[in-house]
Structure 1
Amino acid sequence: NHLGYGVQLAEAKNMELAVPNGFTWAKHDLNLRKGMNFISNADNLLSDLRKHNTEHVLLKLVVWSEKGVPDAPRSPDEIKNFADNAGEVAGHIRSRYGDLYKTISYEIWNEPNLNYEWEGNPNPAEFVNLIRATAAAIREADPQAVIVSGAPSPGGDFDDLKFLEGMYQNGFAGLVDAVGSHPYGGPFPPDHPTGIDAQGNGYPYFRKPEAQRAIMERYGDTATQIWATEFSWLAGLPECNFGEHTPWQVTIQQQADYLVEAYDYAHRNWPWMGPMFVVYDFAISGRYDRCHPAAGYSLLRPDPNSPDVITPAAAALFAMEKHPGW
């Protein structure tokens, strides 16, 4: 199975624009915090997604505290609780929704190389422990599920390539069906070969999965795909201060061109790439200020002069030729 066309969602209702235009994959978070009614939350989400004819779903399994910040499962007891909850929800989803979706998949955690996501101390060995236990629990509950490792951040506190290497050094090979990647494009067009600009500054770049793939091949993990579980280009808000993201900003038209070129590049050059999920509707979710990076990457945005929320990038992606392999 080669490319899939997906969106990273804030709200299920916005699939009504995506699915008719060939974006049939939806990615959404699911909080597995102890005491949460995550089964009911999963039911609400998957029912809403099917109302809009979503065909494939990727659930990012996380734990957010009551304060809304990541609470990484690091101790043996925390890992067991997370894995048990993942297995419980996977079994429930397969039994209730298995006939309604072509693919049900799970991404274990998010950007574990960030201090923010891993309680200030990113650790590849600890992350592999979480993956090993959680993948086993999901597979026992749902042998058909597709399991994806949480993608490292391309701008992480712990270098993303070194983090992935550390995962393989701690027995990661063969634990998942796909390695998660976040190939944000930085300020570069998608065919730019490195993350270094003319002045020697380092930024994210879309072709980072090629470097990740080289690590996978070095450890013999050639049967495992890479999934781009989150990516886009920051665009069109020159008045905003996006912090460290600010130098990455491109124009609205460049965002449109680069995203179309990115899918085409992956189709032509990456036979090992699975679904690619573009940041979609966070700017219209009401959760983020317009100058928050999540809004700056989004395809759908509010327009003060129009009810239309479709950006040039969204229009271009909806219209482009697609080559789905799922």
Structure 2
Amino acid sequence: MTSAVRQTLTLWAGLFVVTGLALLLLSTPPARRWMWQQTGEEAFAAQVKGLSDLAAGLLRPQVKLAPTAVTAYADVNPYGVNVFLEQEVEPDKRALAVEMAAAAGFHWLRQEFPWEDIEIHAKGDFEDRRHQPHRSAWEKYDQIVALAEQHGMELIVRISNPPAWSRAGGDAVGTYAPPDDYQDYADFVAALVSRYRGRVKYVQLWNEPNINPEWGVYPVSPEQYTELLKAGANAARAANPEIVVIAGALAATIDLDGTTIAGRNFNDLLFLQRMYDAGAAAYFDVMAAQGYGLWSGPTDRRMQPRVMNFGRPQYVRDVMVANGDGHKALWISEMNWNAAPADVEARYGRVSLEQQAAYLPLAYQRIQDEWPWLGVANVWYLK
């Protein structure tokens, strides 16, 4: 055996020994807890890989979060939950759902007021004639507003889902597709904001405009969404100068072809930048994103633009800061981990119910400890 071969074997043997000792050290309970705090992973192999991902992340440009720049709507009660009260037929069930949300400690109810369920049959027609007896289409929504007030809660009213009459193609172009005339949307926003002036302060204009099917059969368009946002925001502010306009929550996605191919999605960060380029900044008071943890826990600190985890809202914040919007807060419209049964495809990750129950409080804790620019985070969902 030559001296060079002997030296090579010695080097490799040394590396194996060092690696083995390192893995042995990392497998100890204190090290495992530390790796969980860095990677959000519970399995040992995933934790070790996560450390290498974190190291690689140091080579990328770091996000700029301007943590002290926010002036409004960040220092608020963070606890919100998505509800679907309009889907309950019996008023007593709506009341029970709000009572349960309040008892769970939530302050905010993110509730859709679907345009198609209020201005149902024609423009300016707010009577529900789908069933006997005919009644005001506002009736159930009046009760929802009253229930929130009764329990000292605040509503985040999501305004989306146009009626079929607002599109020449009807529902054939997508039940969530935008109206042909954005003024129709603006007029409905104005009617809603006027009706609940002094009772509803927060409205969210649309939901996930960067993905299919929230923009119907059309390719998604940051520029067109900005026009819709502008029309809605101007109408809302004219109806109530105290209204707080929340932008439609952007869905985290790495797809890049949604603006050119119908039925596809478009990267949330690029979508937001193009919104800014189109002049969107003047037409929202709070930015919104989704906060799903997917395949790792809330302590995952890995940052990679093409990887989805709980830390992704930091990239949204980075885009806001880069465009001079660091003074605005970011809210999370939907947040959770997927406790799907074993027989359901885990397209969006899978955790146990016990993990889900543990992760949500930790997510709120991280928001409070590390993200002073983030206000409300709404759990998905109570029904």
What CA deviation, in whole Å up to 9, does each residue of 1:2-36 have, x standing for no partner? 24211100224312122133201101111123535
Secondary structure of the residue that 1:48 maps to in structure 2? helix
Secondary structure of the residue that 1:166 maps to in structure 2? helix
The residue number in structure 1 matching 2:83 is 9
The residue number in structure 2 matching 1:20 is 103
Which AA in structure 2 matches 1:178? V
CA distance in 2, matches of 1:220, 1:105: 23
CA distance in 2, matches of 1:194, 1:59: 33
- Matching of residue 49 in structure 1 with residue 157 in structure 2: no
Which AA in structure 1 matches 2:184? N
- Matching of residue 229 in structure 1 with residue 229 in structure 2: no
What CA deviation, in whole Å up to 9, does each residue of 1:156-189 have, x standing for no partner? 6111111111111111123211001101111111
Secondary structure of the residue that 2:283 maps to in structure 1? coil
CA distance in 1, matches of 2:374, 2:362: 15
CA distance in 1, matches of 2:302, 2:359: 16
Q: Is the 8 A contact 2:98 2:147 kept in 1?
A: no
Q: How many percent of aligned residue pairs carry the same amino acid? A: 27
- Equivalences, count: 266
- 1:144 Cα offset (Å): 1.4
- Check 1:174–1:194 CA distance in 2 against 1; reply closer, same or farther (3 A cut): farther
Q: Is the 8 A contact 1:174 1:224 kept in 2?
A: no
Which AA in structure 1 matches 2:239? A
Q: Is the 8 A contact 1:185 1:233 kept in 2?
A: yes
Q: Is the 8 A contact 1:15 1:54 kept in 2?
A: no
More deviation in 121-130 or 3-12?
Answer: 3-12
Q: Is the 8 A contact 1:183 1:204 kept in 2?
A: no
C-alpha RMSD of the superposition: 2.3
CA distance in 1, matches of 2:278, 2:354: 43
Secondary structure of the residue that 1:173 maps to in structure 2? helix
Q: Compare CA radii of gyration and give the structure with the larger one.
A: 2
- 1:264 Cα offset (Å): 0.5
Q: Is the 8 A contact 1:174 1:221 kept in 2?
A: no
Structure 2, unaligned runs of 5 or more: 1-72, 86-93, 127-136, 165-170, 256-264
Secondary structure of the residue that 2:297 maps to in structure 1? coil
Secondary structure of the residue that 1:188 maps to in structure 2? coil
CA distance in 2, matches of 1:214, 1:26: 27
The residue number in structure 1 matching 2:177 is 72
- 1:190 Cα offset (Å): 1.2
Q: Is the 8 A contact 1:185 1:206 kept in 2?
A: yes
- Check 1:202–1:238 CA distance in 2 against 1; reply closer, same or farther (3 A cut): farther
CA distance in 2, matches of 1:7, 1:88: 25
- Matching of residue 137 in structure 1 with residue 245 in structure 2: no
The residue number in structure 2 matching 1:109 is 206
Q: Is the 8 A contact 1:29 1:61 kept in 2?
A: yes
Q: Which residue of 58, 79, 97 corresponds with 2:156? A: 58
Which AA in structure 1 matches 2:322? R
- 1:191 Cα offset (Å): 2.3
CA distance in 1, matches of 2:189, 2:84: 21
CA distance in 1, matches of 2:179, 2:321: 28
- Matching of residue 161 in structure 1 with residue 269 in structure 2: yes
More deviation in 32-41 or 269-278?
Answer: 32-41
Secondary structure of the residue that 2:101 maps to in structure 1? helix
Q: Is the 8 A contact 2:252 2:268 kept in 1?
A: yes
Secondary structure of the residue that 1:259 maps to in structure 2? helix
Which AA in structure 2 matches 1:218? A
TM-score normalised to structure 2 length: 0.65
- Matching of residue 263 in structure 1 with residue 337 in structure 2: no
- Check 1:85–1:145 CA distance in 2 against 1; reply closer, same or farther (3 A cut): same
- Check 1:203–1:234 CA distance in 2 against 1; reply closer, same or farther (3 A cut): farther
The residue number in structure 2 matching 1:189 is 297
The residue number in structure 2 matching 1:88 is 191
CA distance in 1, matches of 2:159, 2:314: 26
CA distance in 2, matches of 1:218, 1:74: 32
Which AA in structure 1 matches 2:220? P
What CA deviation, in whole Å up to 9, does each residue of 1:278-318 have, x standing for no partner? 01224xxxxxxxxxxxxxxxxxxxxxxxxxxxxxxxxxxxx
Q: Is the 8 A contact 2:162 2:178 kept in 1?
A: no
- 1:65 Cα offset (Å): 4.4
Secondary structure of the residue that 1:26 maps to in structure 2? strand
What CA deviation, in whole Å up to 9, does each residue of 1:185-243 have, x standing for no partner? 111111213476xxxx965311111100110010101121111111111015122225x
Q: Is the 8 A contact 1:185 1:232 kept in 2?
A: yes
Q: Is the 8 A contact 2:162 2:179 kept in 1?
A: no
Q: Is the 8 A contact 2:148 2:154 kept in 1?
A: no
The residue number in structure 2 matching 1:292 is none
CA distance in 2, matches of 1:193, 1:24: 28
- 1:263 Cα offset (Å): 0.3
Which AA in structure 2 matches 1:116? P
CA distance in 1, matches of 2:271, 2:328: 18
Q: Is the 8 A contact 1:128 1:172 kept in 2?
A: yes
- Check 1:202–1:171 CA distance in 2 against 1; reply closer, same or farther (3 A cut): closer
